[in-house]
Structure 1
Amino acid sequence: MEDTRSAILSFIQQHPFCTAKDIGNALNLTTADIRYHINILVREGKIQQVNAPGRASNRGRPATTFRINTVPSAHTIIWLCELLIKGITELSKDSSENPLTALLSPYFSALVPTTPSPTLRLNQTIEAMKGLGYEAHWEAHFTGPVLILSNCPYWPLPVKTPHICTLDGFLLEKMSGFQLEQIQRANLDSGHPTTCLFKTISPGSKTGANT
């Protein structure tokens, strides 16, 4: 199976915008066999399915062709992010300020509360974090609201570059107008907490414990 898919990938690499029939003829396999393997390769993100206007199918519509996926893999993106964060941290090692928040602070200057209502500010903050890929909500506690984040979109970056975790607290403080303290950090490895918890300390603060 793997050998067949490797052969298909090799053929597509050498013949971009080929059809399933082209691949089958070259590898002496049926079109049905080729489509089985192609569906797996598409799901894995290794190839892209493209309608080629210059090639028509039997019904006159553009033929479905395939090419190698040029989008960087998740592994490559994680490697690049780790490299960049480590470089930024190394350049800022003599500073007591978190290097990422120091670098990005000017770009987050517009993230200020748009309403005086604490509840509305928290709701707006939660919706903004959901837009970034988090599962987020907040709960009312006796000592004050607690913001809860899960489904970390950066994972597994925090394992090797924990500085990136402080960005969560920085963003939450900027958007909510509350000073926050992170009281739990998520670790998606088995047996560890799956959520990050941020306890509100006081409203209206410009800086917080994690910046």
Structure 2
Amino acid sequence: MALLIFASTSALSSELELNQLRYITEHSPPFNYVEAGQLKGPAVDLLLLASQKAGSPVARKDILLQPWARAYRNALEGPNTVLFNTIRTDARDKLFKWAGPTGSEKYVLIAEKARNIVIRTRADLTQYRLGAVRDDAGESYLRELHIPSKNITLATNVNNLGKMLKAGRIDMWAFGEDGWRQSLEDSAIKPANYEAVYMLKKNDYYFAFSLDVEDRLVQQMQDAIDMVKREQAKKSFTN
């Protein structure tokens, strides 16, 4: 009996808490980005606040910043890893455990205004060279449209795609509607010279947990996110 009690106590003491997981994000304004050497953005703020509500606060300094392709691979492999902001697509649904949503965004194709590109049907897209971040939702959406692989150029980070677009190495770039202008500015490219010419899809962002993370931790995060949203909604209503 004493051995059983000891074993049970040891097992409980070894259980991880939310702030012991590995959190990874990327520089992708406006939801999560680096400014003056500090991670900022509403997705970062939500993580910090929700984990605090859950009684297991995550420290801003402990959030890892990585290029998307590497971050995505690390989240797939684990262990005990959370990737954000991650768009929840049908193709990704069973690859992670999810808590959210943390926000939503339309994914669009951006082109140089001077090109006067007009997309009337999906079939029109096969005439162009399209760029996307590797393993990003933009790549997934292009694959769903059955764009030939020879028409798709993949990069490890968003800044490279902006430079490719300016250099004429790609005709259009798939990215979030809310963030492409800032991403171009980060690469010293004038966003006023570019425009969104086609909407690919609208989807929600989530925290994506590697599959080895315990369900109880995912549920703790979900409950805390719901609590934050209720409080924010109540505050907005009273204001």
Give the TM-score normalised by structure 2.
0.20
- When Rg is computed on C-alpha atoms for both structures, the one with the higher figure is 1
Relative contact order, CA 8 A, sep 6+: which one is greater?
Answer: 2
Which structure dedicates a bigger proportion of its chain to strand?
A: 2
